[in-house]
Amino acid sequence: MSKNIKTQEAKLDLITKFLDYANCADASYAMLQYVFKGIIKYKNDNGNELEKKVDTQRLGDKHNNQNSIYARAIQARFEQNKIVKIEPKYCISLINTCFDSKEITLDNDISRVGLNDALSKRTIDFVNRFKLLKH
């Protein structure tokens, strides 16, 4: 039996279903354990382990103009390769040139997504559609 898949004739609801599955699979790698614990452990540049308390918003809590920890975790995963800032290592101020710069990315780290940062449309759609259940 041959499988004749015609992408031109695919139904829109089937395509959106595949996109939902892809988003759920991608979000499953997000650091969601910090949403329930309320503490993020990370290492700084010196190798020291630091703890940072985060908000533990529950469903129905209202915080105006702030991102929830759930939205920040999903944003960190969806935009993990996004360059947040570029740190120059060697700069010559007279000619305004920098050599050997280091790119800092989100790298699936919730602490690099701020409370007031702008979220992507993909993150907003995902967070509004799927609620987090503790298992």
pTM over 0.85: no
In the chain, what are the domain boundaries? 9-129
* Residue for token pair 């298992």: 135
Encode the chain (135 residues) as per-residue pLDDT tens digits: 556 666 666 778 888 888 888 888 888 888 777 777 766 666 677 777 777 666 656 555 666 677 887 888 888 888 887 777 777 666 766 677 766 667 777 777 777 777 778 888 988 888 888 876 664
Q: Are 20 and 26 in contact (CB under 8 A)?
A: no
Q: Are 31 and 52 in contact (CB under 8 A)?
A: no
Contacts of 95 (CB under 8 A, 6+ apart): none
